[in-house]
Amino acid sequence: MKRLLLLCCALSGIFSQAAFASAELAKAKNCMSCHAVGNKLIGPSYKDVAAKYAGDSGAEERLTQKVLKGGSGAWGPVPMPANAQVSEAEARTLVKWVLSLK
């Protein structure tokens, strides 16, 4: 029982670090200038994005490309600019994190 408890604690630490790391990545790449986790700023909240694309098997790839290249029209008239400072791997990490939010 003690081992199981230790294993659960270790795993929860790993997963919370991953979520924290992705939030830190979003801050480092200036995503939080236009987005927030729970409320709309210039762009939609990350939770709204996660809800809109829940169950969409192609969302990860489309949103990764939108982070990299920018886009418009999905959330209103304000376009999202391209993010040249974000690598494809970073964009994918950010998108997976956003889509995991509830």
pLDDT digits (tens, 9 = 90+) for 60-99: 999 999 999 999 999 999 999 999 999 999 999 999 999 9
Sorting pLDDT into bands at 50, 70 and 90, what band is 4? very low
Looking at domain 2-100, its CATH class is mainly alpha
Sorting pLDDT into bands at 50, 70 and 90, what band is 1? low
Which candidate, 32, 89, 99, places its Cα nearest to that of 60? 99
What pTM was computed for the model? 0.79
Which candidate, 71, 69, 66, 63, places its Cα nearest to that of 96? 63
DSSP 71: B
- Cβ–Cβ under 8 Å, residues 11 and 80: no
For the chain, give every domain's residue range: 2-100
10 pLDDT more than 70? no
